[in-house]
Amino acid sequence: MVTDSLFKVLPADAPGGAIDTGTVTITFDGKALRVPQGASVAAALLAAGVERFRTTPVSGAARAPYCMMGVCFECLVEIDGVANRQSCLVPVADGMAIRSQLGMRELNDFIGLAGGTGDER
């Protein structure tokens, strides 16, 4: 869900403003967004107005970044096909495909981690 952002990137010429490093294009849930180059994925998505990054496995409640330093795991998203990425720790890159992470991981993800094939019964 994308809305008007409460987070604004300061213009380079503002007192204490950010250094203008340009922008990159990413997609979030299939929607193209222009975001500040050099920002973390979480900061870029917040600046673009994204309010929900994931949903909880139990209740389906919406979640978004909280600590912005890799401690709380509220910012988990899928980045370029890899689930459970902490978006606050990943720098944004041009062409990145980011998706909301909805609910629990698929069971096949766990089977692959355990060395199984998913065909065991």
Q: What is the pLDDT of residue 121?
A: 44
User: pTM value?
Assistant: 0.73
- 80-87 long-range contacts (CB < 8 A, ≥24 apart) are 83/109, 85/41, 87/40, 87/41, 87/42, 87/45, 87/53
Give the domain 23-113 fold: Ubiquitin-like (UB roll) (3.10.20)
Indicate if the pLDDT at residue 106 is higher than 80: no
| Residue-wise pLDDT tens digits, 16-63 | 555 556 899 999 999 999 999 999 999 999 999 999 999 998 999 999
Binned at pLDDT 50, 70 and 90, residue 15 comes out as low
